[in-house]
Chain A
Amino acid sequence: MSLPMTPAYASEASFSQDSSLATPRDFWLLMKPGVLSLVVFTAFVGAILAPSTIHPFVLLVAILSITLGAGGAAAFNMWYDRDIDLVMKRTRSRPIPAGRVAPHDALTFASLLSVTSVTLMGLATNMLAAGLLALSIVYYTFFYTAFLKRRTPQNIVIGGGAGAFPPLIGWVAVTGEIALLPLVLVWLIFIWTPSHFWALALYRSSDYANARVPMLPVTHGELSTKRHIIVYSILLVASAFIPVYLGDFGVIYALSAVLLGAAYLLLATKVWWIGGEKPAIRLFLFSIAYLFLLFLSMVIDHVGARFL
């Protein structure tokens, strides 16, 4: 299936050039609050697992900086993708396609958030953390949103790297150094992203096809996507044991990795075996819980080890 390099469905005339009806909530929605919650949580876990400590207020500012940076990147994405958002049912009611926020205001908002976040991070913690935050914003905005997303079905595999940065940034904000454990956390989110997104793309494939976004179900079909989901799920579940082999965590984490991994594989197998919308929705929702619970178990294991 051939796809245009840069589909443009809507001229600027399709969008409101006036944000006079926009409420603060619309700007909050530009930051993709659902995604933000996972970003903030994984960044916090990275900071908690770090071997040193910083003043709680500085930690708060660091987490706030990551929130603002991720929100800025999301707002850039909303600005750039406004043409396809207008076509897709799932995204039609977002602030820009719905006509509540003018594209140029969204762009200004995204720029302000990004610059503020990196500046704050640099002032509060260290330049390495600020640099990594800037890199993650650039990665998501330019590499994923503007370059990969409309060009290749591997968009979310490579682009997943952008969402994987937060635990590393959280760790570096505290220690000032890159270490093996936060890189393993980055790898876990990186390898988690494809099966998570393809589960969504499976039951939204007509939406993506209408918008001519080359997601795997659109370009390679359902069966190929399901096979990819299985392969990436196995890679994810296996990768979750790396921290155990490295000796970073004990029984609590290992047990969580086993149980959560078994449930993940079961749901992924159901997507492959049974098919249809329901198993895909279940896998998509569980994948979010999986990442949250796996990272939570790291914190419980880490804190528990201090007291036992």
Chain B
Amino acid sequence: MNKEQKDQAQRSRNTALGLVLAGLVILFYGLAIVRVGG
């Protein structure tokens, strides 16, 4: 495994983790709205 491959894999893992965390924030925000608003 070369350094470039490792860096590429690291970048895509970081992006995926960022998206998952952003998704969780939206999800909890949405749940709060539905539960409180409903």
Query: Which A residues are within 8 Å of any B CB, using their own CB?
Result: 20-24, 27, 55, 57-58, 61, 64, 116, 120, 123-124
| Nearest A-chain residue to B2, judged by Cβ | A21
Which residue of chain B lies nearest to A64 when distances are taken between CB atoms in the complex?
B27
Instruction: Tell me if A20 and B10 are in contact (CB < 8 A).
Output: yes
Residues of B within 8 A of A (CB): 1, 5-6, 9-10, 12-13, 15-16, 24, 27, 30-31, 34-35, 38
Query: Once the chains bind, are A57 and B1 in contact (CB under 8 Å)?
Result: no
Q: Total A-B residue pairs with C-beta atoms closer than 8 Å?
A: 34
A123 x B12 contact (CB < 8 A) = no
Query: Which of A22, A123, A124 contacts B9, CB < 8 Å?
Result: A22
B13 neighbours in A (Cβ, 8 Å): 22-24
30 A-B residue pairs with CB within 8 Å: A20-B1, A20-B6, A20-B9, A21-B1, A21-B5, A21-B6, A21-B9, A22-B9, A22-B13, A23-B9, A23-B12, A23-B13, A24-B12, A24-B13, A24-B15, A24-B16, A27-B16, A55-B34, A55-B38, A57-B30, A57-B31, A57-B34, A58-B31, A61-B27, A61-B30, A61-B31, A116-B24, A120-B27, A123-B31, A124-B31
CB distance from B19 to the nearest CB of A (A): 9
Of all chain B residues, the one with the shortest Cβ separation from A123 is: B31
Chain A nearest Cβ from B20, distance in angstroms: 9
Complex-state Cα separation, A120 to B28, whole angstroms: 9
* B24: A residues at CB distance < 8 A: 116
